[in-house]
């Protein structure tokens, strides 16, 4: 199947015919849902991403098969990573590093490990993979990313991965047919509320051919939305209601369990 | 099938409803048994569940308010509380809370709040727990030898009995200067604001040892103070930080007030010196737990936290 002499010949002919190869494939994709609702029974969920590689008359036949890299990033947040050191016999937070406006959620899903899909300089330029994603950090007066094996940067990635908020899934995208693909985006219960972007990149023969994208949002719904909204917008009333609820609960207990 | 997991709207994570309910019952049982709020147990437990310390501290305040109100009503029916003494303590308590909140904010800006909380847990719970255990053991040995257990020594006066502004607290049958009363209230409010605890386990011995308040009114009076400070804290936390989780609070308080009723009955069946020894061991154990965390080499040297105010 992989060796298609005619296809290669065709590709060569097309290359000769058009000086600049017009990459005419198009990515068409969708998600199983564009809105994830947080209800009282929410314990995390999965979204299914599916799509197809569309050809038209100008499409160049490819030698190898297609590769997809899907990068899902959640709302940005600023985080502090602290390192404990022993001081006077006890372990206390000594050094810290602030990560500025980094994705709260980041999943990199691909058909193969990224290193096999494209050369390393391409991957770096396109920020493909967790290790190559730009993570701006506040260093003195500047905000910049640091070298890849910086201990704070590694610790940040390790902690995010351990909370399932960063996901590295090099085999999560599968081609069902040569042009039809699907992937599952795992969303943990701790995934923050907000807008999520899905960035799709189509590769063939180690080169980026085209990009696609989609988006979804995670929102609190119904009762959860009501409570969170009340706590934020009507703090005094919310506090008084909670205190009153406490008094009522306490009073009820003393009545129910009254013995004399 | 009924959902076991419930998503907390403010803490932003799902918890097992039965685990939280069981925690409420367990801590409620202990609080009813010893006549304390139990915040020093509940706050660390919630943090252990994965709830952020800020949400834990804010939510526990409403849980303590519920269980202390339930307890206060019971003691009120038995006329076993001193409202005028509680009011006097509250004057100092409110000033102490304000001072504590100020220091809390200052330490948070320095980035050493976690260490301060851990160290104060170690120092306070360790020393108080140690004293209580020593006192409890001594009392039990004394009673074994057939000597009467004498906690309140009416004849013995300390230096602050000579202070001015004396007041007579009828219910407690004490005649004491208002200065140490307000001072004790201040210390309680201050510690409560920084450590996120009601402080009943501290207040009860202080009232007994320093003010010579009789044991029959001391718990009820301490509960009134805890009730007012914790209800106020609930409202203040809601206004300033929006971090009180009402669902978590409801599960905890329903479990808590139920546990407290059974705890109170179990406590009444036990001898008071044995009860004090058990509470001392419990307080000491929590203090030691915090000390171990500070001294032991941590599994992970790194921790990650959202920067304050960027929610």
Which residues 179-208 of chain A have a CB within 8 Å of chain B?
189-190, 192-193
Lowest-confidence segment of A16-30, A52-66, A161-175, B214-228 by average pLDDT: A16-30
Q: Where is pLDDT greater, at B279 or A60?
A: B279
Closest chain B residue to the Cα of A40, Cα to Cα: B7
**DSSP result, B266-285:** HHHTS-HHHHHHHHHHHHHH
Distance in Å, alpha carbon of B110 to nearest chain A alpha carbon: 11
Highest mean pLDDT among A55-64, B224-233, B302-311: B224-233
Cα–Cα–Cα angle for A197, A198, A204, rounded to 5 degrees: 150
Q: pLDDT class for B94, splitting at 50, 70, 90?
A: confident
Residue B300, pLDDT score: 80
- Asked whether residue B201 carries a pLDDT value surpassing 50, the answer given is yes
CB contact under 8 A, A39 and B7: yes
Neighbours of B158 (CB within 10 A): 11
Residue A62, pLDDT score: 74
Q: Where is pLDDT greater, at A128 or B75?
A: A128
- Asked whether residue A203 carries a pLDDT value surpassing 80, the answer given is yes
In angstroms, rounded to a whole number, what is the distance separating the alpha carbons of residues A69 and A201?
5
Cα–Cα–Cα angle for B261, B266, B272, rounded to 5 degrees: 120
Q: Which two tokens stand for residue A232?
A: 């934020």
Q: pLDDT class for A76, splitting at 50, 70, 90?
A: very high
Which residues 240-259 of chain A have a CB within 8 Å of chain B?
240-243, 245-247, 249-254, 257
In angstroms, rounded to a whole number, what is the distance separating the alpha carbons of residues B114 and B57?
13
Give the relative orientation of helices B178-195 and B200-209 as an angle to the nearest 10 degrees.
160
Alpha helices in chain A (DSSP H): 5-17, 114-117, 120-126, 151-162, 223-233, 235-256
- Asked whether residue B12 carries a pLDDT value surpassing 60, the answer given is yes
- Asked whether residue A260 carries a pLDDT value surpassing 70, the answer given is no
Residue B308, pLDDT score: 54
Residue B148, pLDDT score: 57
Mean pLDDT of B97-119: 75
Residue A20, pLDDT score: 42
* Alpha carbon distances (Å) from A247 to A243, A251, B234: 6, 6, 12
Q: pLDDT class for B161, splitting at 50, 70, 90?
A: low
CB contact under 8 A, B295 and A89: yes
Q: pLDDT class for A166, splitting at 50, 70, 90?
A: very high
Q: Where is pLDDT greater, at B242 or B22?
A: B22
Q: Which of B119, B260, B305 sits opposite A79 (nearest CB)?
A: B305
CB within 8 Å of B148: residues ≥ 6 apart: none
Q: What share of chain B is helix, strand, coil (3-state, %, to 5)?
A: 70, 5, 25
Q: pLDDT class for B249, splitting at 50, 70, 90?
A: very high
Residue B167: beta bridge partners? B176
Residue A13, pLDDT score: 44
Closest chain A residue to the Cα of B306, Cα to Cα: A79
Residue A228 contacts B, CB cutoff 8 Å:
yes
Interface probe for A, chosen from B223, B302, B309 (most Cβ of A below 10 Å), is B302
In angstroms, rounded to a whole number, what is the distance separating the alpha carbons of residues B134 and B141?
11
Distance in Å, alpha carbon of A97 to nearest chain B alpha carbon: 10
Q: Where is pLDDT greater, at B140 or B150?
A: B140
Instruction: Using CA atoms of A60, A64, A65, A68 in order, give the dihedral in degrees to the nearest 10.
Output: -80
Which residues 10-69 of chain A have a CB within 8 Å of chain B?
38-44
Q: pLDDT class for B194, splitting at 50, 70, 90?
A: confident
Residue A1, pLDDT score: 41
Q: Which two tokens stand for residue B1?
A: 């099938």
Mean pLDDT of B221-246: 83
Nearest to B26 by CA among B242, B270, B309, B266: B266
Strands A207-220 and A35-38: parallel
* Alpha carbon distances (Å) from A195 to A36, A134, A172, A185, B58: 10, 19, 22, 15, 28
Highest mean pLDDT among A5-14, A24-33, B259-268: A24-33
Q: pLDDT class for B306, splitting at 50, 70, 90?
A: confident
Q: Where is pLDDT greater, at B23 or A24?
A: B23
Give the relative orientation of helices A235-256 and B246-268 as an angle to the nearest 10 degrees.
30
Q: Where is pLDDT greater, at A164 or A9?
A: A164
Mean pLDDT of A120-138: 88
Residue A259, pLDDT score: 62
Distance in Å, alpha carbon of A255 to nearest chain B alpha carbon: 9
Distance in Å, alpha carbon of A127 to nearest chain B alpha carbon: 23
Mean pLDDT of A173-179: 90
In angstroms, rounded to a whole number, what is the distance separating the alpha carbons of residues A35 and A26?
25
Which residues 111-150 of chain A have a CB within 8 Å of chain B?
none
Residue B147, pLDDT score: 61
Contacts of B220 in chain A (CB under 8 A): none
Distance in Å, alpha carbon of B291 to nearest chain A alpha carbon: 9
Q: pLDDT class for B304, splitting at 50, 70, 90?
A: confident
In angstroms, rounded to a whole number, what is the distance separating the alpha carbons of residues B277 and B281?
6
Backbone angles phi, psi at A43, to 5 degrees: -130, 35
Residue A75 burial (CB < 10 Å; 0-12/13-18/19+)? Answer: middle
CB contact under 8 A, A243 and B297: no
Q: pLDDT class for B21, splitting at 50, 70, 90?
A: very high
Q: What is the separation of C-alpha B45 from the centre of its chain, rounded to a whole number of angstroms?
A: 14
Q: Where is pLDDT greater, at A58 or A165?
A: A165
pLDDT in tens, B47-76: 888 888 778 888 888 888 888 888 888 888
Q: Which two tokens stand for residue B152?
A: 């309140």
CB contact under 8 A, B234 and A84: no
CB contact under 8 A, B307 and A260: no
A81 close to A97: Cβ distance less than 8 angstroms: yes
- Asked whether residue A181 carries a pLDDT value surpassing 90, the answer given is yes
In angstroms, rounded to a whole number, what is the distance separating the alpha carbons of residues B10 and B3?
19
Nearest to B213 by CA among B170, B182, B274, B179: B170
CB pairs under 8 A between A and B: 188
* Alpha carbon distances (Å) from B24 to A247, A255, B45, B182: 16, 19, 10, 32
Mean pLDDT of A31-46: 88
Residue A177 contacts B, CB cutoff 8 Å:
no
- Asked whether residue A40 carries a pLDDT value surpassing 90, the answer given is no
Q: What is the ipTM of this complex?
A: 0.78
Lowest-confidence segment of A140-144, A205-209, B119-123, B196-200 by average pLDDT: B196-200
Q: pLDDT class for B274, splitting at 50, 70, 90?
A: confident
- Asked whether residue A201 carries a pLDDT value surpassing 90, the answer given is yes
Contacts of A223 in chain B (CB under 8 A): 9
- Asked whether residue A17 carries a pLDDT value surpassing 50, the answer given is no
Contacts of A152 in chain B (CB under 8 A): 302
Give the end-to-end CA distance of chain B in Å, rounded to a whole number: 35
Residue B162, pLDDT score: 66
CB contact under 8 A, A247 and B9: no
- Asked whether residue B309 carries a pLDDT value surpassing 50, the answer given is no
CB contact under 8 A, B302 and A80: no
CB within 8 Å of A236: residues ≥ 6 apart: B235, B238, B239
């Amino acid at each position: 199947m992989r060796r298609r002499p005619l296809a290669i010949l065709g590709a060569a002919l097309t290359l000769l015919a058009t000086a600049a190869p017009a990459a005419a494939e198009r990515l068409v994709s969708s998600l199983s849902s564009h809105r994830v609702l947080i209800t009282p029974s929410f314990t995390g969920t999965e979204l299914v991403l599916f799509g197809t590689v569309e050809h038209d008359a100008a499409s160049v036949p490819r030698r190898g098969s297609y590769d997809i890299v899907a990068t899902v990033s959640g709302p940005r947040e600023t985080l502090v990573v602290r390192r404990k050191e022993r001081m006077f016999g006890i372990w206390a937070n000594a050094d810290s590093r602030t990560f500025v406006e980094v994705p709260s959620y980041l999943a990199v899903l691909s058909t193969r490990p990224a290193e096999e899909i494209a050369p390393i300089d391409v991957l770096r330029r396109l920020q493909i993979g967790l290790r190559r994603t730009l993570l701006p950090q506040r260093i003195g007066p500047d905000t910049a990313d640091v070298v890849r094996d910086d201990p704070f940067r590694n610790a940040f990635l390790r902690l995010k991965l351990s909370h399932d908020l960063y996901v590295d899934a090099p085999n999560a995208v599968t081609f069902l047919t040569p042009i039809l693909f699907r992937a599952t985006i795992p969303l943990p219960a701790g995934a923050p509320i907000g807008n999520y972007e899905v960035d799709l990149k189509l590769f063939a023969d180690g080169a980026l051919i085209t990009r696609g994208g989609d988006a979804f949002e995670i929102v609190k719904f119904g009762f959860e939305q009501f409570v969170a909204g009340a706590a934020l917008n009507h703090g005094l009333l919310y506090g008084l209601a909670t205190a009153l609820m406490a008094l009522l609960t306490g009073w009820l207990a003393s009545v129910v369990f009254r013995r004399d | 099938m009924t959902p076991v997991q419930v998503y907390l709207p403010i803490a932003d994570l799902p918890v097992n409803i039965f685990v939280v309910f069981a925690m409420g019952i367990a801590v409620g049982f202990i609080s009813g048994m010893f006549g304390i709020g139990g915040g020093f147990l509940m706050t660390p437990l919630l943090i252990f569940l994965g709830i952020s310390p800020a949400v834990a501290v804010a939510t526990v305040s409403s849980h303590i308010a519920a269980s202390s109100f339930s307890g206060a009503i019971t003691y009120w029916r038995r006329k076993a509380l001193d409202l005028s003494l509680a009011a006097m303590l509250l004057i100092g308590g409110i000033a102490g809370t304000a001072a504590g909140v100020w220091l809390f904010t200052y330490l948070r800006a320095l980035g050493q709040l976690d260490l301060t909380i851990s160290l104060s847990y170690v120092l306070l719970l360790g020393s108080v727990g140690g004293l209580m255990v020593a006192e409890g053991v001594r009392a039990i040995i004394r009673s074994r030898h057939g000597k009467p257990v004498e906690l309140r020594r009416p004849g013995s006066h300390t230096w602050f009995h000579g202070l001015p502004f004396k007041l007579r607290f009828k219910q407690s049958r004490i005649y004491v200067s208002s200065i140490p009363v307000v001072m004790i209230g201040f210390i309680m409010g201050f510690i409560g604001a920084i450590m996120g605890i009601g402080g009943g386990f501290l207040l009860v011995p202080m009232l007994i040892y320093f003010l010579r308040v009789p044991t029959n009114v001391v718990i009820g009076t301490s509960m009134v103070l805890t009730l007012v400070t914790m209800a106020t804290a609930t409202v203040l936390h809601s206004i300033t930080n929006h971090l009180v989780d009402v669902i978590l609070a409801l599960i905890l308080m329903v479990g808590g007030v139920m546990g407290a009723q059974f705890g109170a009955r179990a406590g009444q069946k036990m001898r008071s010196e044995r009860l004090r020894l058990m509470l001392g061991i419990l307080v000491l154990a929590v203090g030691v737990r915090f000390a171990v965390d500070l001294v032991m080499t941590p599994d992970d040297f790194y921790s990650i936290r959202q920067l304050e105010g960027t929610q």
